[in-house]
Structure 1
Amino acid sequence: MILPVPDTGPVLVIAPHPDDEVLGVGGTIARLSRAGREVHVCIATRGRVERFGQEQVDTVRREARAAHDILGVEHTHWLDHEAAALDTEAHGDLNRSLADLVKRIGAQVLFVPHVGDIHLDHQLVFLSAMVAARPAQQQYPAAIFAYETLSETNWNAPYLTPPFVPNVFVDISETLDTKLAAFSAFASQVRPSPAERSISALSALATLRGATVHRHAAEAFVAIRQCY
């Protein structure tokens, strides 16, 4: 099965918080890296020490590094905006930092959070990613896909906010175990079933998305732009 992305050029997965990238794109990241593609991950925010404590902040960063090693991520970029506080800073700051990163690595493919996610950080990161990818510059991403994040994408108000209606599915039958291992590396974030951020829930979603397209497991995306 051919991946629905341009054949060449760096891939950038933009995550509002560490573990969003694994929940939404982990199996696809593993597939791309196994195929020899250069995959970068951008974590837009960092937990505030006064809220989470330095030890927890450091733990999550170590967990992210371990998870990304499992997936085969080329490089992780930390923008260090304040988590759960993006609405308190000038929106242009986030626009600028994402635009600089997209330009610096020459990203040809973007995976971004869904604009309808319940977390405001997700919505603002989506908007800034779209600003960074505007096709009004000499070089810009040829393809953009929005991903779903358990406990964010599916917890917003149905019919009142933009729904997640996928139109692209990536077969992750051979990389689902890798995705689950990467999420397990986020030990501080994993919850027991039936919590949505549990190994069983993540596996169940992959099975459901796969069954939709007659595959054992899949990740689902909304294609925002494809130009290649």
Structure 2
Amino acid sequence: MKHVERGDEVYWLITTNISTDQGFSEERVASRQEEINKVEKQLGIKKTFLLNYPTMTLSSSSLIKMVPEVSDVFNEVKPEVIYCVNRSDAHSDHRITFDAVLACTKSFRYPYVKKVMMYECLSETEFAPALPEKAFIPNYYVDISEYMEKKLEVMNVYASEIAEHPFPRSERNIKSLAVFRGASVGVEYAEAFQLLKFIDK
């Protein structure tokens, strides 16, 4: 929302999807697509790319096909700033997605990329193994105080992904994390990222 307000073009890459072949009902498949469409409109996203890999099936062998697909998206969009899931998230789909995205940030092949950041995802980042080499270490903070209520409104579009506290992705916990990250840097609400690469050019 902050990017769009500043006049930036925002694109969304979704690597996995659900289908009836996986046992999901037609209603659930349709409602997920409706959720995506609603979020796309509410955030002002210019274009969404769907790779449609079956959810919870990504593995290292998926990278052979996925890396060229991500590369095609990047070469079409030419993103300057990339936000990606955390490399050590508990969800294996997140870890494979991270590997595919990072493979497409080499400066000699993707010279337009200036900044690469990982974001934290409630229910996945905090459940990653508590090992030093897998820790999410925030070092880049964005003040979202003006956008907090709108963020909660958008998050609630994902009806199947939100539940009551103490479920990690509850409205209360989303807001609590923003309060904590904000308090870390002296603002009311913030989002935290781990900056992996920043090329000042």
2:164 equivalent in structure 1 = 192
Q: Give yes or no for the alignment of 1:110 onto 2:82.
A: yes
Which structure 1 residue ranges, 5 or more long, are not aligned?
1-29
Counterpart of 2:149, as a letter, is D
Question: Residue 59 of structure 2: which of 87, 90, 101 is its match?
Answer: 87
2:60 and 2:96 in contact (8 A); partners too: no
Counterpart of 2:87, as a letter, is V
1:102 and 1:133 in contact (8 A); partners too: no
In the alignment, the residues of structure 2 paired with residue 56 and residue 172 of structure 1 have an alpha-carbon distance, to the nearest angstrom, of 31
With structure 2 as the length reference, what TM-score do the two structures score? 0.94
CA RMSD, 1 decimal: 1.4
Identity of aligned residues (%): 27
Tell me the CA shift for residue 58 of structure 1: 1.7
Counterpart of 1:48, as a letter, is S
2:148 and 2:189 in contact (8 A); partners too: yes
Counterpart of 1:167, as a letter, is N
After TM superposition, what 4+ stretches of structure 1 lie above 6 angstroms from structure 2?
none
2:137 equivalent in structure 1 = 165
Task: Give the number of the structure with larger relative contact order, counting CA–CA contacts within 8 Å between residues 6 or more apart.
Answer: 1
Deviations 1:174-202 (A, max 9, x none): 01111111101111221112211111110
- SS, match of residue 154 in structure 1: coil
In the alignment, the residues of structure 2 paired with residue 56 and residue 161 of structure 1 have an alpha-carbon distance, to the nearest angstrom, of 37
1:170 and 1:219 in contact (8 A); partners too: yes
Task: Give aligned pairs, total.
Answer: 199
Counterpart of 1:33, as a letter, is V
Within 5 Å, give how 1:184-223 maps onto structure 2: 184-223=156-195
- SS, match of residue 146 in structure 2: coil
In the alignment, the residues of structure 1 paired with residue 145 and residue 6 of structure 2 have an alpha-carbon distance, to the nearest angstrom, of 15
Q: Give yes or no for the alignment of 1:31 onto 2:2.
A: yes
Counterpart of 1:146, as a letter, is M
Question: Residue 96 of structure 2: which of 119, 124, 127 is its match?
Answer: 124
